[in-house]
Structure 1
Amino acid sequence: MPASSTRQRRQGALTDVFYLILRRMRFPLLLLIGIYAVCTLGLSLIPGVDAQGGPADPMGMFNAFYVVSFTGTTIGLGEIPQAYSTAQRMWMLGTIYATVIGWSYSLVNILALLQEDAFQNALRQARGTRKIYSIREPFYIVVGAGETGMLVCHGLDRLHLRFVVIERDEDRLARLRLEEFHQDPPLIAADASQPQVLSNAGLVSPHCRGVMALTDDDEKNQAVAVTTRLLAPRVAVLARIRNRDAETHIGVFGGDLVVNPFQRFARQLASAITAPERYRLRETLIGLEGESMPEPHQPPRGKWIMCGFGRFGHAVVDELRGAGIDVTVIDVAHYDEGGVDVRGSGIDSESLLAAGVKEADGIVAGNASDTKNLAIAVTARDLNPGIFVVTRQNQTANAPLFDTFTDDLCMVPSHIVAQEFLARITTPLLGQYLRRISQYSEKECKLLCDRLARYGRGRIPELWDVVLRRNGAEAVCAVLKQGGPVTVGQLLTDPSSRGWRSEAVVLMARRGNRTIDRPGPEHELALGDRLLIAGSDRGRRDVESVLRNPNALSYVQTGQEGNGGALWRWASRLAGR
């Protein structure tokens, strides 16, 4: 986006403020101008007196304007340039009262204007727009400050990425202001489905990298995605959609990433049953750095019970039955619509027994009420202690209750969306790689997952993209330009001890339209290659050292120390500790 458009956007926000001032103060300003004009004209025409009391010429237009100006603001500099005549003093009395009334009326209107919500909003918007367009680093626009939006904001802040929040609910914004961030984010109280609001939030700024639509309304999220695609086609769009029809429409029109948390979890549950190691690997890759590694889950393959047949229940039943699993559905609200086997809530033991809970291997409590889901889980566990329990947690505030119950698998929609979005933001290649792991065997997934767990010391390891270009990979690019080879094995060699491998692995290499999964040590790199790498914090420092430091690259390739010599190796060892 050209710089002129950015300036126009900032000027447009200030224009709104000036427009409100001029519209609200139009009559008071005209009244003051009229008072000053009449008073000045009359005073300039009235004859004066000289020192002896004889008649004298009027004081003139300039002197009259001067006298009226200080009279209207101070009332007390005396009779200048000479004593007034009686007529002049009479006119000055009228001038005093007229200007006082005019200024009083204007000040009352100014105070009323300052208290108007429309003016306050315009002023906040102007200040916010000026602050947003002064950001000179990549930032993201988060639409919606609910539970998912809050998680995304904290994730972005932990990654030291700037963001702007748009939220219509003032209470949510008030809670967000109490959160601790490295830098206070600009907050906009407005409806993001309006194109002007997104523009004021920095959509057309050259530093805007993405828009995340996380409101509770699918239509608003869709409107945000469509607006972004039309006004800023280069900006990535990430939207949370719960309705399948809206998801398909937004995906075709403008969604770079559309996440339906219900559909996503249903697929993950089916994957956990049919391919648990692949499920664990996926959870590791999209997890937030520093969190505990996902525990291995082995949901049974036998008979399952689904409590609740709303959008979430439909998604789970479709995926499980598609995987060849027998599912019995319990529900009251959707019983007459078909597809429900037992009429009941699942809270009572009668409906669970009618669904065969004692013979069932697993149960999903998937209602919109957390207390109802917990009640179903407790009842089912009492009737069948060995049953595999999957719960749906709608509110993060209820986490202590779910932790106390200790279910086998918990579905938290806000976490699913936040993890997915943050993973895609930090590593753009991850989306392509996640689609490819469906081809991996369970053994391959387990080996890779165990390796990543070692690198992360039991926690989610770092995941990052590398592009072999001059900025960020200077040493490697210099060798490649000279025709020299650089291999994946050399890139992953410890630059402080050539006999050791760095704690990192290249998951995928992308060259043009060609993709290579887990390239081997002998794979030669080329200029412009994009690599998806996972590893520990030390492993990342080692890889970046080889990419950027000619001495490090020379050492891992030949074993010969560059100009840095022993001093460089000593500094490398210190940096690696």
Structure 2
Amino acid sequence: MPLIIMISVSSISILGMVLIPGVDASGHPYHMTFFEAFYFVSFMSTTIGFGEIPYAFTVGQRFWVALCIYPTVIAWLYTFGSILTLMQDKAFRQTLYHTIYARYVRNIREPFYLVCGYGTSGRLLVHRLTHENRQCVVIDVNEQFISELAIDDLHLFVPGLSADASESEHLVRAGLKHPMCRAIAAITDNDQVNLKIAITSRLLHPDLIVVARSEHRDVTASMHAFGTHHVIDPFEAFAEDMANLLVRPAHFRFQSLLAERLDPVDLAARASSLRDSQWILCGFGRLGQAIHKSLTAVGVKVVVIDAFPDKSALPDGSIIARGTQKETLIQAGIMSAGGIIAATSDDADNLSIMMAAKQLNDRVFLVARQETRTDDALFGACGLDMIMQPNYVVVRKAHAWLSMPLLQDFSSDLSIVSDAVAESILKRIEARVPVDEFETWQLEINDYEAPAITELLEKGREIRIADLLRDPWHPEKTQPYIALFARQDDSRWMLPGGSQPLQVGMKLLFCGHRTTAWRAALYHKEALNFALETESLEEERQPG
């Protein structure tokens, strides 16, 4: 309506100025052109006032101007006042932003990951992915989180949408059905919202990889029923890590190296020496129950302390009291215990338990749950051996599944081998590359990631894994990395040998330290040809 009023009043004023005759400098009759009339009415209605143009007005023209000046000024002020008010309207700005956001997402021409939830877990995950130059798109119902996304120091620009991710239309606007969307991570702090996102994703984009967070067994079961690819329960994941730390330290070290590039060799050695000791578990909530189940399954003796037995059925021999009391810890056997785990949902209680246990037994292995990220300084000052932060566990798992799907296949195969075998693999890696330079990466033989190899394979050349493990310009030099895993359709190889032939579409997992020679083998056909020809000559020279 404001635009209609302004256009109507201006049109009538312009038409009058064109029709009413004037006189030029010589006294001859003159009619304004539409452009001259438009120009005059424009500065008249905005009260700028440049004077009478192109010649002095006649009485009739001045009379018409006197009639038009008031309605045009009022229409101008009304129109632009309405526009400014509209621009400040929250609903209008949100609609405008959603439109711009949807247009930006539609124009993305590279693979990207849709992250639902930009709380602590979402922020950490986006930072990790963008640090690896992986494009992300974020959606979160909290406007403050999306505002923080705009000022976060990220390696790439990440568009963020403030909307409810449990509504399908918002997910579609965020890129759920986009052909370049590779995966969706539902890691909000609400299990029901994560379940709705997982269901929507499986129905609207069945080929999309779905990673979802769930802290309740019934929600986890529902996610699996709908075919969610990866469900992350931070409590179950940490409980599994604790069991591995005590009874399978090589597995624990290996997983830490692959996922976090950390080598907790001293931590694993100390914890595994305490596997036959009694452990104290304070708190029998979701985390406490998961840890108790995991540790007792591998033969570790655990004494439970919990002040609220009505919330969950405590195991036999449990102590009904608060673990923050020294008397309670002494009753539980803290003086001879190998370790103590503070698994309550209250950071203050967990810190109190740790300090009390440390005063009673300075040799005890200390493990505590940290619920709030802002308490990092407090937990860091306690000198704990391990800190369990649910958000970090979720991010570690989600990042591995999103960035390196083969890592989970390898971990699955690795989990069924003995700790001695895992230790031998670790020694093989350590002999090839220093642990402080360790990294893990995935490669698919295709035109995008390995164009030189793909071109030669399509021409019938035989290329083996060993050809990726040497410097193309100096084939006699072995590179500081090894192949951990390979998969081609339904076939999979753990620690494939160097004689394993490469195929187009094959996916491989490597670990070690990438050098410039790695890129040369993938992208420079001349370098790869040189290495293959040199290898052929060497084989011909060998006797037999």
TM-score normalized by structure 1? 0.80
Alignment-derived partner of residue 531 in structure 2: 552
Question: 1:202–1:63: structure 2 CA closer, same or farther, 3 Å change rule?
Answer: closer
Question: 1:79–1:384: structure 2 CA closer, same or farther, 3 Å change rule?
Answer: closer
Q: Which amino acid aligns with 2:533?
A: S
Alignment-derived partner of residue 125 in structure 2: 152
Give 1:139's match in structure 2, choosing from 112, 116, 120. Answer: 112
| C-alpha distance in structure 2 between counterparts of 1:166 and 1:366, whole Å | 31
Give 2:314's match in structure 1, choosing from 339, 344, 348. Answer: 339
Alignment-derived partner of residue 205 in structure 1: 178
Give 1:216's match in structure 2, choosing from 189, 192, 206. Answer: 189
Question: 1:32–1:173: structure 2 CA closer, same or farther, 3 Å change rule?
Answer: closer
Question: 1:402–1:80: structure 2 CA closer, same or farther, 3 Å change rule?
Answer: closer
Alpha-carbon displacement from aligned partner over 1:294-332 (angstroms, at most 9, x marks no partner): 655125234222111221112112222333333222122
| C-alpha distance in structure 1 between counterparts of 2:36 and 2:475, whole Å | 92
Mean CA deviation greater in 321-330 or 466-475:
466-475
Matches within 5 A, 1:111-190: 111-190=84-163
| C-alpha distance in structure 1 between counterparts of 2:117 and 2:502, whole Å | 42
1:35 and 1:99 in contact (8 A); partners too: yes
| C-alpha distance in structure 1 between counterparts of 2:437 and 2:201, whole Å | 32
Give 2:250's match in structure 1, choosing from 234, 259, 277. Answer: 277
Residue 242 of structure 1 pairs with residue 221 of structure 2: no
SS in 2 for 1:439: coil
1:280 and 1:295 in contact (8 A); partners too: no
2:214 and 2:220 in contact (8 A); partners too: yes
Q: Which amino acid aligns with 2:482?
A: V
| C-alpha distance in structure 2 between counterparts of 1:453 and 1:417, whole Å | 28
| C-alpha distance in structure 1 between counterparts of 2:480 and 2:516, whole Å | 4
Alpha-carbon displacement from aligned partner over 1:435-484 (angstroms, at most 9, x marks no partner): 11122111111121233345552236222223334554455556655666
| C-alpha distance in structure 1 between counterparts of 2:371 and 2:534, whole Å | 53
2:437 and 2:512 in contact (8 A); partners too: no
Question: 1:189–1:177: structure 2 CA closer, same or farther, 3 Å change rule?
Answer: same
Number of residue equivalences: 526
Alignment-derived partner of residue 529 in structure 1: 506
Alignment-derived partner of residue 400 in structure 2: 423
Alignment-derived partner of residue 205 in structure 2: 232
SS in 1 for 2:436: coil
Mean CA deviation greater in 383-392 or 125-134:
125-134
Q: Which amino acid aligns with 2:260?
A: G
1:310 and 1:334 in contact (8 A); partners too: no
Alignment-derived partner of residue 284 in structure 2: 309
1:306 and 1:330 in contact (8 A); partners too: yes
Alpha-carbon displacement from aligned partner over 1:126-180 (angstroms, at most 9, x marks no partner): 3333333333222222222222222212211221112222233344344444432
Alignment-derived partner of residue 110 in structure 1: 83
Deviation at 1:265, TM superposition (A): 0.6
Deviation at 1:224, TM superposition (A): 2.2
Question: 1:557–1:179: structure 2 CA closer, same or farther, 3 Å change rule?
Answer: farther
Deviation at 1:78, TM superposition (A): 4.3
1:308 and 1:329 in contact (8 A); partners too: yes
| C-alpha distance in structure 2 between counterparts of 1:167 and 1:321, whole Å | 39
Matches within 5 A, 1:364-443: 364-443=341-420
| C-alpha distance in structure 2 between counterparts of 1:126 and 1:133, whole Å | 11
| C-alpha distance in structure 2 between counterparts of 1:237 and 1:453, whole Å | 34
Aligned-pair identity (%): 30
Alignment-derived partner of residue 20 in structure 1: none
1:491 and 1:546 in contact (8 A); partners too: no
Alignment-derived partner of residue 6 in structure 1: none
Alignment-derived partner of residue 566 in structure 1: none
Deviation at 1:488, TM superposition (A): 3.4
Give 1:318's match in structure 2, choosing from 289, 293, 297. Answer: 293
SS in 1 for 2:197: helix
| C-alpha distance in structure 1 between counterparts of 2:386 and 2:14, whole Å | 84
| C-alpha distance in structure 2 between counterparts of 1:484 and 1:61, whole Å | 77
Residue 503 of structure 1 pairs with residue 480 of structure 2: yes
Question: 1:539–1:104: structure 2 CA closer, same or farther, 3 Å change rule?
Answer: closer
2:280 and 2:332 in contact (8 A); partners too: yes
Question: 1:370–1:451: structure 2 CA closer, same or farther, 3 Å change rule?
Answer: farther
Deviation at 1:38, TM superposition (A): 6.8
Deviation at 1:35, TM superposition (A): 4.1
| C-alpha distance in structure 2 between counterparts of 1:40 and 1:511, whole Å | 75
Question: 1:258–1:428: structure 2 CA closer, same or farther, 3 Å change rule?
Answer: same
- Structure 2 gaps, min length 5: 25-30
Deviation at 1:95, TM superposition (A): 2.6
| C-alpha distance in structure 1 between counterparts of 2:388 and 2:537, whole Å | 51
1:157 and 1:182 in contact (8 A); partners too: yes
1:274 and 1:301 in contact (8 A); partners too: no
| C-alpha distance in structure 2 between counterparts of 1:39 and 1:330, whole Å | 86
1:493 and 1:502 in contact (8 A); partners too: yes
Question: 1:547–1:399: structure 2 CA closer, same or farther, 3 Å change rule?
Answer: farther
| C-alpha distance in structure 1 between counterparts of 2:34 and 2:462, whole Å | 85
Deviation at 1:354, TM superposition (A): 2.8
Residue 29 of structure 1 pairs with residue 3 of structure 2: yes
Q: Which amino acid aligns with 2:359?
A: D
| C-alpha distance in structure 1 between counterparts of 2:467 and 2:54, whole Å | 91
Deviation at 1:241, TM superposition (A): 1.4
| C-alpha distance in structure 1 between counterparts of 2:482 and 2:504, whole Å | 19
Q: Which amino acid aligns with 1:315?
A: A
Mean CA deviation greater in 178-187 or 434-443:
178-187
Deviation at 1:40, TM superposition (A): 7.6
Deviation at 1:230, TM superposition (A): 2.8
1:331 and 1:342 in contact (8 A); partners too: yes
Deviation at 1:528, TM superposition (A): 3.6
Deviation at 1:370, TM superposition (A): 2.5
SS in 2 for 1:338: coil
Matches within 5 A, 1:8-27: 27=1
1:41 and 1:64 in contact (8 A); partners too: no
Alpha-carbon displacement from aligned partner over 1:376-424 (angstroms, at most 9, x marks no partner): 1121222233322221122344334333333232222222222222222
Question: 1:391–1:455: structure 2 CA closer, same or farther, 3 Å change rule?
Answer: farther
Give 2:428's match in structure 1, choosing from 431, 446, 451. Answer: 451
1:287 and 1:423 in contact (8 A); partners too: no
- Report the aligned-residue RMSD: 3.6
1:475 and 1:553 in contact (8 A); partners too: no
Give 1:253's match in structure 2, choosing from 226, 241, 258. Answer: 226
- Structure 1 gaps, min length 5: 1-26, 52-58, 562-577
2:452 and 2:522 in contact (8 A); partners too: no
Q: Which amino acid aligns with 2:379?
A: F
| C-alpha distance in structure 1 between counterparts of 2:133 and 2:53, whole Å | 67
Q: Which amino acid aligns with 1:544?
A: A
1:365 and 1:373 in contact (8 A); partners too: yes
Q: Which amino acid aligns with 1:330?
A: I
Deviation at 1:75, TM superposition (A): 6.6
2:453 and 2:522 in contact (8 A); partners too: no
1:215 and 1:221 in contact (8 A); partners too: yes
Mean CA deviation greater in 253-262 or 172-181:
172-181
